[in-house]
Copies of this chain bind each other. A is one copy, B any other.
Amino acid sequence: MEFKEEITLWLKQLQESICNDLQNEDGTSFFSKDEWSREEGGGGISRIIVDGAVFEKGGVGFSAVHGNTPAFLFKEKEHALGENAVTDSTFFATGVSIVIHPKNPMVPIIHMNIRYFEMSNGTKWLGGGIDLTPHYVVAEDAAFFHKALKTVCDKHDASYYEKFKNWADDYFFIPHRKETRGVGGIFFDRLTSTNEEEFKKLVSFWQEVGQTFAPTYLSIVNKNKNLPYSEKEQNWQYLRRGRYVEFNLVYDKGTKFGLETNGRVESILMSLPKYASWQYNIVPENGSKEAETLSYLRKGIDFVQM
């Protein structure tokens, strides 16, 4: 089996196993399954949960697509392949993408994406990210989340956590709001090595990131899913989801890439919540839980030490 086939199979199994774990936690709703194909080559499986006891709307997407390498990959600074790059090539990309919007405002939104990319010229790389967006930040949960990610990182490279945590702070940021999207997590892209052994190590780090998603998130879900809440907290949840929509539609690179390259809209936008809200100039009262949450939405906070 070719490496890309192995990775594809592994991602499919990860999707299946994450859906099983999430629906077990939910207890009432199940993930639907929608297989789709892409005219230019490849396709995917979109799995959606709606109106569950715990999860109001969530998507766990798998895709494996291929075709002619889009021209922008040779132009964008972050994708620049150097002057000697073979620009006449095909690409293969596969990944799993997750966004879960829980019903209870005391349970955070979660996002994970892990992706593998290769080109017929031999270039290949790994990318990924997990970040947590609590409607109400609870320091204990944020610390638990970051420690879980740090544990995975530290097993592989002592420099990873700090580097990838800062990358997430920069990536999951809403400039016009001057707010991070949530308490962050880790983000990395274009991990690669020409040494086969080194690349295998990167793959095993990347796979552990994928595997840590379900137990880490579900531990936070389980702790908070039965907490009581009022309409006031639900309204705040809807407002925070509005910010999530702003980030995804205005800044998220995966979303932009998908919309600009004629991707499957329903799969790209499955990250958006069932309900979101905007109100004019809401400023939480000093000392409120809402104001406390906003105070955490900035770069550079060391959640592990909390």
Contacts and interface: CB of A to CB of B under 8 A. Distances in A.
A47 to B, nearest CB: 10
A105 interface: no
A238 B275 contact: yes
A48 interface: yes
A106 interface: no
Interface string A244-263: 01100110000000010010
Contact of A281 (B34, B262, B273): B34
A50 B280 contact: yes
A177 interface: yes
Contact of A269 (B48, B270, B274, B278): B278
A176 interface: yes
A177 B277 contact: no
Contact of A176 (B34, B50, B57, B265): B265
A266 B281 CA distance: 6
B250 A259 contact: yes
A154 to B, nearest CB: 37
Interface string A15-50: 000000000000000000010000000000010101
A272 interface: yes
Interface of A: 34, 46, 48, 50, 57, 59, 175-177, 238, 242, 245-246, 249-250, 259, 262, 265-266, 268-270, 272-281
18 contacts: A34-B281, A46-B280, A50-B279, A57-B278, A57-B279, A57-B280, A59-B280, A176-B268, A250-B250, A250-B259, A266-B281, A272-B278, A274-B277, A274-B279, A275-B276, A276-B276, A276-B277, A276-B278
